[in-house]
Amino acid sequence: MGLFDRFKKTDKKEKKERKPIPKDVEIDEDQLLLKKIATTDKDRYARAAAADQITDQYVALDMSKNVKDRAIRLIAINKVKDKDLLWDAAENSQFFDVRSFAYERLGENNKSIAEIVINTKKNPNVDEIFEKVVDEETLKWIAIEADDKRYRNGAVDKIESAQVLEDLVFKAKDNSIKITAINKENFKDENVLQKVAIDQKDENVKIAAINKINDEEKLAEIAKCEDNAKIRSLIFEKIDDKNILKEIILKSEKSDVRLDLVPNLDDEDLLTQIALNDKDNVVRSEAVKKISNEGTLLKIIKTDDDRFVRQIAVNNIENPKELIDIALNDSDQFVRNHAIKNPNLVDEKDYLEIVINSTNEDVANEAMKHISDEKAFIKILNEAKLENIRKSTLDNIDDLETLIRIVLANEDEEFSLKALNKINVESCLIKIYEQGISENISVRAVSKVRNQKFLTDVVNNEPQWRVREAAIKHIVSKKVLKETSLNDENEYVRNVAKKRLNL
């Protein structure tokens, strides 16, 4: 077996059999003095001469591990002969040149070369020894640890062992190295690829692994716990088995995963199951959008605790009677309003039913926006459960008989006065006045009349001064105005008559 074929298989065993380095070693004074000269003297020749005279291997080991002066530490490591001490230097020295030299002394040539390649910038001399490396464990070490990316890339390019490539993916810090390893032809174990896709954090590493997986069950397991929407989309594009997709949507703990799949479902039974049972309201709402069965939709409207889910269900209802029932009886104003706005509710009679029977003013007002027939407004005026809704109809009613009935009933004087304002037929106004309903109504009725005979009669005979004042304002007869200015018992009425005489 060649020099660069492999690491020695006995490393772990040898490490176990190595003697521990004693912590308290008795060192001769002359050796300590030589160490001091070798590490502190200002003259480099003196330092080198002192280092060369050191014979104590523990002193030499300590210097090889810690002295910054390269020449001194290499002289020191050359003094170390004990195999256990060499292993300690190889594994614990701060300096790669010492580690490399120690490995070489131990016959661990692959490790010796690796230390040089890993810690040196790319150059022709290092290239020459790197090209000789064929041991894949050594190449893996270089691919993971090399400072120069070109050596990392070169190392992974030379590795063919599937096991080494797999190990490299989980140990490398450079994601581009992981991707290169995954894309190697021999990296094809889908169990390992699945683990890479699940465990690795980098998106591109995950994608590289997923691109090589054909087993749809494995892809499904990845998707169930994947946070990245782009990766989930890639996975779902690779899965054709509808049963597998169904399992994902029913078993994934991640709502985003379930949400991704709902828009592509056409199985109404499955959509119903999701709409009724999924714990995430957004997922339920997406499922409800695709449901047409009214029995299911009504069940959702009655049972779901999320107003947005119920609102979407209402939007899909086609039966006007159901929409009327929701508008009248649902506990949530938001849902009730969506029932009214449903495009399947078009008949004015349906809106009229809502207005008349609603006990929610905002619902009734919303429904009334869809009514234009005056007869419907008159029906609302007479039958609506809400007083404010009944009164709000007046702007849409011009029917004279209805307006007169409102005034005569005078259940609410302000409302009666508004109705009276819409009456312009003098004969009707006179009849209203004659009923003596109230002073305010009499004043308003008289103020709208221009019949001089009637107005004169009011001025002469009406006992209430405010009503007389309303009449005198429209009298044109100078005679009547003069008599009133002199004879009316109310000063204010007299003054109004005087002012009109002077006009």
50-68, pLDDT tens digit by residue? Answer: 999 999 999 999 999 999 9
Give the tens place of pLDDT for each residue, 352-388.
Answer: 999 999 999 999 999 999 999 999 999 999 999 999 9
Mean pLDDT on 166-179:
94
- Residue 10 — pLDDT band, cuts 50, 70, 90? very low
pLDDT at res. 306? 95
What does each C-alpha distance from 161 to 105, 136, 184, 381 come to in angstroms? 29, 7, 10, 89
- Residue 225 — pLDDT band, cuts 50, 70, 90? confident
The pLDDT mean for the chain works out to 92
State whether residue 464 is helix, strand or coil: coil
Distance CA 52, CA 29 (A): 16
Does residue 23 register a pLDDT over 90?
Answer: no
Residue 263 exposed, middle or buried by CB count within 10 Å (0-12, 13-18, 19+):
exposed
Distance CA 133, CA 8 (A): 14
Give the tens place of pLDDT for each residue, 489-502.
Answer: 999 999 999 999 98
Does residue 13 register a pLDDT over 60?
Answer: no
- Residue 18 — pLDDT band, cuts 50, 70, 90? confident
Extract the tokens encoding 333.
């104003």
Mean pLDDT on 114-131:
91
Asked whether 338 and 309 are in contact (CB, 8 A), the reply is: no
Give the tens place of pLDDT for each residue, 435-487.
Answer: 999 999 999 999 999 999 999 999 999 999 999 999 999 999 999 999 999 99
| Phi, psi for residue 67 in degrees, rounded to 5 | -75, 130
Does residue 222 register a pLDDT over 50?
Answer: yes
Mean pLDDT on 321-342:
95
Nearest Cα to 171, choosing from 193, 145, 189? Answer: 145
More confident position, 443 or 13:
443
pLDDT at res. 22? 80
Does residue 405 register a pLDDT over 50?
Answer: yes
What single-letter DSSP state applies at residue 106? T
Does residue 271 register a pLDDT over 70?
Answer: yes
State whether residue 378 is helix, strand or coil: helix
Of how many residues is the chain composed? 503
pLDDT at res. 8? 37
pLDDT at res. 283? 96
pLDDT at res. 25? 84
Asked whether 392 and 376 are in contact (CB, 8 A), the reply is: no
pLDDT at res. 503? 73
Distance CA 205, CA 198 (A): 10
Distance CA 122, CA 79 (A): 30
Asked whether 442 and 417 are in contact (CB, 8 A), the reply is: no
Does residue 2 register a pLDDT over 50?
Answer: no
- Residue 15 — pLDDT band, cuts 50, 70, 90? low
pLDDT at res. 454? 97
